[in-house]
Structure 1
Amino acid sequence: MDLYSILEPDHQLTSTKSLKLVELNSEILQAIENKAELRLKSASTKDYPVLVTASKTFKIRQKNHSNCVLLLSEHNGDASSYARFSNELVLTPTEPTINLRGISVLTQLSELTKKGPITLESVFENSPMSEQEFARLRPELNLVELEGNAYVLHEELVRDCLSSILRAIIEELVESGNEMNIMTRLQSLNKQWVTDVVEKHQEESYPSEITQTVLAKYTKESDGKLAFLNEKVVRLYGVLLLKNNTQEMKEDDFALNLKLTMPFNYHPDIKLEYLKGNFITENGFIRYFAESDLSENPVERISELFKLKKEWKLEDIEPFVARINTKKIKTDKFLIKYAKVRRVGRQTVVCAKT
């Protein structure tokens, strides 16, 4: 059986079945010793297999050898045996991914459908990842289940729900006399209190599955307390503002408009670095551009970037090359292979090789 065969459970080892030698890492060994469940998963029969514990995912790859012999001995040392092998399976940690094939994007609640339901359980079963990783990443992808069907919430629906949540909480804080320290209070809120307030004050009734998903994404929980992640909130509002403006804006105008789009009395720090990978600035103007729209090929990506701008500051180009810098070396050293990197005063600038 080679690595890419379909793995089927077989309770009886027969002469028609072969064994694979697997090099166990410490996490897998500990899981086996603790008699924890291990699962083999794959997004489809054509995708690579992974082995998952309750909290981690390991990609299975085949490592080939030549002229190798495995020596085995009994515990008492009275007997020994050997076996030749030409390959082994190696387990390497890998980034978990959620399989979103076939899942609809929900832009408004009136679009709910019962046709061809895909549940969150089936999404998890078909995703090469562990249960804990799925629970952590599901809110990050705006993934929810409504009326038995899984959806990815559109960013504008997420923003509208988040606005409703923030307005409800701020209204309650103002009514209770906390108007002067709202931003401080938003960093320490009782989780159950937030749930009750949202149900009481929400202008539009969002299903609890949506509000809980939005809260899980834009707050951090510790000891039953919730703290709003202002940087992520600013990123959501800012990226949508850029997307919905087809023309360039002055940076100062953008910052002002961004403040105006946020709920009244919500005043987080606004920094362009929060939106990194989603904008380009030039001559005091800002416009939307997404890193995800660039080629995955390093040479092509660098070429595309210099078609957008002839010269980049190192800190500005960094978010757009981080994905292709797979070895995580310093950005200036990484770019030397593809571009000209030089110092201009206190700044490092990057331009195309000529």
Structure 2
Amino acid sequence: MMNDCPRTREDVEKTLNEAKIKTSALNPCTQILKFSEEEAAYTCLELNKELLETLESGQCLVIRGDKSENAVLCTINKTFELKDTETSNSLLIIKSIDNHSDLKYLQDNEAEGRVELRIVDKLVHNYLEPRLCRPHLQIVRKLLNKQIFKGQENERNVSTFDLYSFDKLLTTVQASEEELLKELKDLNAIEYNGFWRLLDFEYHFRVFSFITTFIEQESIPLDKINMEMCSNAYEEIVPKEIFEQVFKYYTEPRESMPGYYSLNQDKVCRMVAESLLKDSRKFNLDEFLPVWQESVLPGLETKLSQLTGTVIVDKESSTPAIWYFPERDLPENINARLQRLFQERTSWPLDDILPYMEKLATPQLPVNALLAKYARMSSKDGTKYFTGRHSK
């Protein structure tokens, strides 16, 4: 690079004299900057301590998003929005340059009088600033809804083009791997033949009923259920891969008894409640509660707390009522979600509305701050209520 430098040591000293700067301030080796004729396609990305340590440990940072979306940055377990931020100081992108400490320790006979050219690849006035955000997960359900699994007899005309493996979902969904996997589990999706699928509700309830029927018919203790025995009893009706994933969703493994599981009371009771309420507009609460309790396996206890985020319970009406209103069916956009909530119910107690807003919260804007910003609060008998901003 020295031979290509358009300026000599004398040129440098002349410039310093004109600027009234002492030539004694020069290092033995002088570096001349020149802007590249073709600007490099670089973008600067700011890394906080956590992200820097992620890279230094050998893990990957992945940018996700298509042309119609704002890009996000993902680690293995977190998602960050990328904010385009201006800087008051210009940044020069240079592949190689010696810093002051490097030049200071060069031996005089090696560096004295040297002038070297350094190429500036790009002048930067802004950078991307990662900010922790919520993963964009609502699209997962929309994608999996394209081909809902309704049984092997209905798979003949299913095209794999509309099916999604985990890797294919990762290229489409703006979320980290762990966040995506958690969403699939929360949706009770199953992996079948290498693709993630949602089960048709009727088919899902059918498999669920096989499990509870087997337990009841065989008089099996609710904390000592053998998955292999249960699965084998229905292997000619339900694919083993599907049966065992549904089984594991409604049970917890017994660490002290490999192969045996305990029934998850809350999940089982919630599923039974959904089957009773799903196709009913409203149900008299006092009539529903005993029907619900009678519909679950003996030994299980039904509680309204098991239905948080799944139903609305109105105890303040002249006739207390309960109806199906799952959080997963609501829009992801905050304004659209609140509009839908206040259409369903004009006034919400704080404890009732929280399950429908928690997924929209961020570290920067927790649930209470969200409600304070987008809804109107009032208080009655020590209970906080929320209504729409523009409601009368």
TM more than 0.5: yes
Q: Distance in 2 between matches of 1:340 and 1:74?
A: 60
Q: Distance in 2 between matches of 1:236 and 1:307?
A: 26
How much has 1:41 moved relative to structure 2? 3.0
Q: Distance in 2 between matches of 1:309 and 1:55?
A: 35
Q: Report the equivalent of 2:376.
A: 339
Q: Report the equivalent of 2:155.
A: 112
Instruction: Find the partner of 1:237 among 272, 295, 317.
Output: 272
Q: Distance in 2 between matches of 1:300 and 1:138?
A: 24
Alpha carbons of 1:335 and 1:88: their partners in 2 closer, same or farther (altered >3 Å)? closer
Instruction: Find the partner of 1:46 among 68, 73, 88.
Output: 68
SS of residue paired to 1:95: coil
Structure 1 unpaired stretches of 5+: 1-13
How much has 1:88 moved relative to structure 2? 0.9
Q: Report the equivalent of 1:66.
A: 88
Alpha carbons of 1:106 and 1:336: their partners in 2 closer, same or farther (altered >3 Å)? same
Q: Report the equivalent of 1:8.
A: none
Which residue identity lines up with residue 315 of structure 1 in the other structure? D
The yes-or-no answer on 1:168 pairing with 2:214 is yes
Give the conservation status (yes or no) of the 8 Å contact 1:164–1:203.
no
Q: Distance in 2 between matches of 1:315 and 1:101?
A: 31
Give the conservation status (yes or no) of the 8 Å contact 1:239–1:275.
no
How much has 1:351 moved relative to structure 2? 5.5
SS of residue paired to 1:78: helix
Instruction: Find the partner of 1:250 among 284, 291, 299.
Output: 284
How much has 1:70 moved relative to structure 2? 6.1
Q: Distance in 2 between matches of 1:75 and 1:221?
A: 59
Alpha carbons of 1:67 and 1:349: their partners in 2 closer, same or farther (altered >3 Å)? closer
The yes-or-no answer on 1:30 pairing with 2:48 is no
Which residue identity lines up with residue 288 of structure 2 in the other structure? F
Q: Report the equivalent of 1:123.
A: 169
Alpha carbons of 1:94 and 1:289: their partners in 2 closer, same or farther (altered >3 Å)? same
Instruction: Find the partner of 2:231 among 174, 199, 214.
Output: 199
Stretch deviating more after TM superposition (70-79 or 227-236): 70-79
Q: Report the equivalent of 2:125.
A: 86
Q: Distance in 2 between matches of 1:58 and 1:299?
A: 22
Deviations 1:124-163 (A, max 9, x none): 3433333344333323223334456543212333233223
Alpha carbons of 1:228 and 1:50: their partners in 2 closer, same or farther (altered >3 Å)? farther
Q: Distance in 2 between matches of 1:95 and 1:300?
A: 17
Alpha carbons of 1:347 and 1:137: their partners in 2 closer, same or farther (altered >3 Å)? closer
How much has 1:235 moved relative to structure 2? 2.4
Deviations 1:154-185 (A, max 9, x none): 2333233223223334555x35xx4xxx3xx2
When Rg is computed on C-alpha atoms for both structures, the one with the higher figure is 2
Q: Distance in 1 between matches of 2:249 and 2:143?
A: 22
Higher RCO (CA 8 Å, separation ≥ 6 residues): 2
Give the conservation status (yes or no) of the 8 Å contact 2:292–2:302.
no
Q: Distance in 2 between matches of 1:279 and 1:68?
A: 55
Stretch deviating more after TM superposition (297-306 or 282-291): 297-306
How much has 1:29 moved relative to structure 2? 2.1
SS of residue paired to 2:134: coil
Q: Distance in 2 between matches of 1:127 and 1:241?
A: 33
Deviations 1:227-267 (A, max 9, x none): 54322332232233212223x322122122223333x3351
Q: Report the equivalent of 2:143.
A: 101
Q: Distance in 1 between matches of 2:60 and 2:306?
A: 42
How much has 1:86 moved relative to structure 2? 1.2
Alpha carbons of 1:148 and 1:348: their partners in 2 closer, same or farther (altered >3 Å)? closer
Alpha carbons of 1:33 and 1:339: their partners in 2 closer, same or farther (altered >3 Å)? closer
Q: Report the equivalent of 1:210.
A: 242
Stretch deviating more after TM superposition (281-290 or 97-106): 97-106
Q: Report the equivalent of 1:3.
A: none
SS of residue paired to 2:268: helix
Give the conservation status (yes or no) of the 8 Å contact 1:295–1:301.
yes
Give the conservation status (yes or no) of the 8 Å contact 2:147–2:158.
no
SS of residue paired to 1:22: coil
The yes-or-no answer on 1:314 pairing with 2:350 is yes
Alpha carbons of 1:330 and 1:33: their partners in 2 closer, same or farther (altered >3 Å)? closer
How much has 1:198 moved relative to structure 2? 1.9
Q: Distance in 1 between matches of 2:276 and 2:368?
A: 32
Give the conservation status (yes or no) of the 8 Å contact 1:280–1:286.
yes
How much has 1:111 moved relative to structure 2? 1.8
Give the conservation status (yes or no) of the 8 Å contact 1:38–1:52.
yes
Q: Distance in 2 between matches of 1:110 and 1:249?
A: 35
| TM-score under structure 1 length normalisation | 0.72
Q: Distance in 2 between matches of 1:267 and 1:101?
A: 35
Alpha carbons of 1:268 and 1:351: their partners in 2 closer, same or farther (altered >3 Å)? same
How much has 1:341 moved relative to structure 2? 0.3
Instruction: Find the partner of 1:287 among 301, 323, 326.
Output: 323
Q: Report the equivalent of 1:137.
A: 183
How much has 1:104 moved relative to structure 2? 1.1
Structure 2 unpaired stretches of 5+: 1-36, 105-117
SS of residue paired to 1:77: helix
How much has 1:51 moved relative to structure 2? 3.4
Deviations 1:34-53 (A, max 9, x none): 323443333x3422333333
Q: Number of residues paired by the alignment?
A: 323
Alpha carbons of 1:26 and 1:228: their partners in 2 closer, same or farther (altered >3 Å)? farther
